[in-house]
Chains A and B, each alone.
Chain A
Amino acid sequence: MASLAAAQVQEVRSITRIERIGAHSHIRGLGLDDALEPRAISQGMVGQKMARKAAGVILQMIREGKIAGRAVLLAGQPGTGKTAIAMGLAQALGPDTPFTSMAGSEIYSLEMSKTEALTQAIRKSIGIRIKEESEIIEGEVVEVVVERAAGGGGARSGRLTLKTSDMETNYDMGAKMIDSLLKEKVQAGDVITIDKATGKINKLGRSFARARDYDATGQQARFVQCPEGELQKRKEVVHTVTLHEVDVINSRTHGFLALFSGDTGEIKSEIREQINGKVAEWREEGKAEMIPGVLFIDEAHMLDIECFSFLNRALESETAPVVIMATNRGITRIRGTNYKSPHGIPLDLLDRMIIVPTTPYSHQELREILNIRCEEEDCQMSSDALTVLTRVATETSLRYAIQLVTTASLVARRRRAAEVSMEDVKKVYSLFLDEHRSEQFLKEYQDEFMFNDGSGVENKKYQLLD
């Protein structure tokens, strides 16, 4: 009995599982129309029209794919939507264009040198579309069973039964495959293909045999015939791989060592040269097509002078992606030197860049953004609460106001209200300090904190003694 109940709980949990929300998960594109003119509010984007228009031009540049190695700098105050624009660009480019996103400080690692990390990032941003014969499993799903090892947590195991009109086979699945099946929401009656080498799942549609299962089906439900013949087939498939992936395939030493080396580490430059030669050959023969992608480096001021000069050089190569950097610094010291430069980027590199400024949002725009975030976080907010929040956003920062959305909705849920009211916002405003009030507070009570500079209480004591 108890085990039955437990199983039910398990089931309920997996159905109501919510997708996690990130700071930029409301962004679905750049919000441009076909003529690349920015719409006021679209695809999660609000305001920032000039910057978005500029991004639209860059988008066109990338799509045409002719110009390699351009650099774009998104410069603007914190919270003016630089990362959002980059994310929107990635979404607008679609899943077939490689988009690598990294933070400037990611290159500092003990495992590989800075230039190696940068080279890998650059090569991850260049895709090759190539036709390859690959083992494909194509069939109609009969059953998906996922079992969790007793005691929770432990390894999951899964079984998938597929059939064609002529045969039926059971497959064992590992954790990764289970995850991607759940992510694609594969269920009995779907016709799917699985690439055996990459594990990529493609939903072709629902089987005609299942057309009468439900009275109501989604608009997108597409019905297909159950495949015939063998489940496993060899098929020519068009793959998009990145140059980095090809590097890894060719550099991995097979044998026992491959078992223990999870990560790729540094890749020899000879291998890269060899791959470049091969790719050039494929392109000439028309076997492959190169897709220059986008490398986005957030917090670009964290790169140091060595990286900048390396980038200078790397951008000139014909197989360079479009590099987009974002920074929120003004005139500051270039890391690794004592020189000051705009955005902390040396002038020679700045000279090669197209600089796109972002400007602070207007009052109305802030209100729209907060509204979008409320929707994204599934929180009902009353109009006066939103007005208060917008005021908070103008006076402090947009990020702080977004934090208050989450916290206020929790407070509202505590008192079982359907809507977040002004009181809830006021309450969390008093509970959580913004950066300015925190500074004020510190200034007031500085003396009572540990390790102050000794100008406070203790001095007074001495004065008394004197």
Chain B
Amino acid sequence: MHKNTIWYKSLLNAEKTCLKEDKIKKIHYKFDDGKEMVEEYNVDTHVLLRRAWKMKGKLGGEGKWAVEVGDPIPDATPIVDGLDITESKDQPTLLKRNTRVNIEWRIRNLPYPIETYSIKANNEDKCIIISTSNKKYYKKLEVPELYRLGLPIEQGNIDATHKYNTLIITYKKPQPLLDMDRDLYEEISKIKPMTDIPNECKTQ
């Protein structure tokens, strides 16, 4: 079923470059419409660790990487003059992770007990909406993985736990998504990793 989706086809048709670093395999996709994406896989578990998109400003200039799945990329050169307003350190931060069977969101710095939250699948807006009864937190979580395969979000697949000031929401991957993950990894393992990488960051 996934093989006929535009998403899967565009992945196959994209210009792919592979790079292997210890236990991590990085794949750079360059799509026909000029977009760029990078995926990182764990070689042992075949699980996607991170997926990021290059965001190009309309006015040009170097783009920034926007992380869709996985830990955010630490910024080596924070813009000194630009951003003058940022969320305080003690505010909730959202992190999306991918495991073999689940899509997982972790929201840290959220001290309210589990009864506070209401987590609803909303297929009109194609997202999962988290709201709080004390009106302190509200978030729309997009699930592009399902949307790309044309799958609806099902309330029954959503599960949530609250521990150590962290709200963890998991969404059980439906079978078509699992199939696609497996097929895509097979496809990727066919690409030969680049061998002559300039080793600039290693200290001597």
Contacts and interface: CB of A to CB of B under 8 A. Distances in A.
Contacts of A166: 131-132, 135, 138
Contacts of B115: none
Contact of B85 (A130, A174, A254): A174
Contacts of B4: none
B91 interface: yes
B87 A255 contact: no
A259 interface: yes
Contacts of B60: 246, 249-250, 275, 278
B138 A229 contact: yes
A246 B84 CA distance: 20
Contact of A172 (B62, B85, B138): B85
A246 B57 CA distance: 11
Contact of A171 (B80, B82, B88, B136): B88
Interface string A129-171: 0101100010000000000000000000001100111111111
Interface stretch (A87-95, A191-199, A396-404, A417-425): A191-199
Interface in A235-280: 241, 245-246, 249-250, 252, 254-256, 258-259, 262, 275, 278
Contacts of B90: 170
A326 B131 CA distance: 61
A275 B87 CA distance: 34
B77 A254 contact: yes
A171 B138 contact: no
Contacts of B86: 171-172
Given A165-B135, A167-B136, A259-B80, A196 B85 contact: yes
Given A229-B140, A230-B139, A255-B77, A246 B85 contact: no
A137 B83 CA distance: 13
B72 to A, nearest CB: 15
Interface string B62-95: 1000000000000001011111111111110000
Nearest to B139: A230
A252 B61 contact: yes
Nearest to B132: A167
B138 to A, nearest CB: 4
Contacts of B185: none
Contact of A199 (B58, B80, B85): B85
A259 B138 CA distance: 35
Contacts of A159: 88
A4 B38 CA distance: 56
Contacts, number: 84
B137 interface: yes
Contact of A173 (B81, B85, B140): B85
A177 B85 contact: yes
Given A172-B86, A199-B84, A132 B59 contact: yes
A174 B78 CA distance: 14
Interface in B80-114: 80-91
A183 interface: no
A171 B87 contact: yes
A163 B138 CA distance: 11
A167 B138 contact: yes
Given A130-B58, A130-B59, A170-B91, A197 B82 contact: yes
Nearest to A229: B138
B78 to A, nearest CB: 9
A275 B61 CA distance: 11
Contacts of A255: 77
A169 B88 CA distance: 8
Contacts of B84: 173-177, 199
Task: Give the interface centre of B60, B83, B86, B139 by most chain A CB atoms within 10 Å.
Answer: B60
B61 A249 contact: yes
A241 to B, nearest CB: 7
A171 B58 CA distance: 27
A163 to B, nearest CB: 8
Nearest to A131: B58
Contact of B138 (A132, A133, A230, A256): A230
27 contacts: A130-B58, A132-B58, A133-B58, A159-B88, A160-B85, A164-B138, A165-B135, A166-B132, A167-B132, A167-B137, A171-B86, A171-B87, A172-B89, A173-B85, A175-B84, A197-B82, A197-B83, A199-B84, A199-B85, A241-B59, A245-B59, A249-B60, A249-B61, A250-B61, A256-B77, A258-B77, A275-B60
Interface of B: 57-62, 77, 79-91, 131-132, 135-140
6 smallest A-B Cβ distances: which pairs? A166-B138, A167-B138, A174-B84, A177-B84, A249-B61, A170-B88
Given A176-B84, A197-B83, A246-B59, 18 more contacts: A159-B88, A165-B135, A167-B132, A171-B86, A171-B87, A171-B88, A173-B84, A174-B84, A175-B84, A197-B82, A230-B138, A241-B59, A246-B60, A249-B57, A249-B59, A249-B60, A254-B62, A258-B79
